[in-house]
Homo-oligomer: A and B are copies of this chain.
Amino acid sequence: MIMNDRFLKACRREPTDCVPVWFMRQAGRYMEEYRAIRAKHSILEVCKTPELAAQVTLQPVDRFPLDAAIIFADILLPLEPMGIRLEFVADEGPVIHNPVRNRADVDALKAVDAEPLRFVCEAIRLARRALEGRVPLIGFAGAPFTLASYLIEGGSSRHYLETKRMMYHAPDAWHRLMEKLARVVTSYLKAQIEAGAQAVQLFDSWVGCLAPEDYREYVLPHVKGIFEGLQGTDAPCIHFGTGTATLLELMKEAGGTVIGVDWRVPMDEARRRLGPDVAVQGNLDPVVLFAPVHEIERRVERILRQAGPGPGFIFNLGHGILPNTPVENVQAAVDLVHKLSQR
């Protein structure tokens, strides 16, 4: 039994008393409670210690009246059991010490199931227990393109040169890599749902670097396979990316109960283009949370107005909360969404 089921209802395009809200990276450095844990443990330690991961997952839900929790984890976790040596370097982000560059590297990757990631499932079980049905818990995974971009570039990237080079020069190796990643992601998300995740989000954060035709050819079939693989479950699936203004229709075609959009696409345009048969999530610019409250209010109000009175809308940012975001502005944004959207 869930006490607050606004988020799940909105995913299913059922009417709600007000618009549900949660934030990507809502458990993060902007919170004192989170920094206190991270002062003693690395990101990977927190991810791999179910008690810590569950504890961090609950921090934002304990502090703000959010309508969903999201399990604390990192999209790159599934790469380690595939044979990748992963490190998080301070101020630099993830570094992959053995990047994938050719067909032999791709073949050497292990197509694992979710078993080695059981610590995430255990964290989900603990977080569900600790939440006591207050709000639903979201699981998540990185999408194959975004994972492939880290695997191939060896970390984050600006031009995705090596990633696209593999697409163009070695399409066989590319598709084989995407198949392997899609298989791992599918079983990982299934395992999260079995462990108790009541919805899942697929993060294709960097797919917006692609032209629509390249998305259709090199990405869409693999993402579609993931959503088809999840159809047996009844957990709603959120399909998210940034810079996807020209990819929205293709992302819907690939699948998802909810499409996540960033602030570059006005919410009325997103709703119109995606149609009434899919829910939409977004899309406040995370930097707006650094603005004075009256500016936050103006923008929250505009997004709610653009999203319209119909069901199937979840308020979120267009990307994750930034590290130095003022906590009081996060509080203000959550309250404003609830207050301004009351039916």
Contact = CB atoms under 8 A, between A and B. Distances in A.
B266 A211 contact: yes
Given A159-B287, A243-B243, A246-B269, A264 B211 contact: yes
Interface residues of A, number: 31
Contacts of A210: 264
Given A211-B266, A245-B245, A246-B266, A290 B165 contact: yes
A213 interface: yes
A286 B169 contact: no
Nearest to A319: B159
Contacts of A109: none
Contacts of A169: 291-292
A164 B159 CA distance: 23
Contacts of A269: 246
Contacts of A161: 287, 290, 322
Given A161-B322, A243-B243, A168 B211 contact: no
Contacts of A263: 211
A303 to B, nearest CB: 10
A229 to B, nearest CB: 28
A253 to B, nearest CB: 15
25 contacts: A159-B322, A161-B322, A164-B290, A165-B290, A165-B291, A168-B287, A168-B291, A168-B292, A168-B295, A169-B292, A208-B243, A208-B264, A210-B264, A211-B263, A211-B266, A211-B285, A212-B264, A212-B266, A213-B266, A243-B264, A245-B245, A245-B246, A245-B264, A246-B265, A246-B266
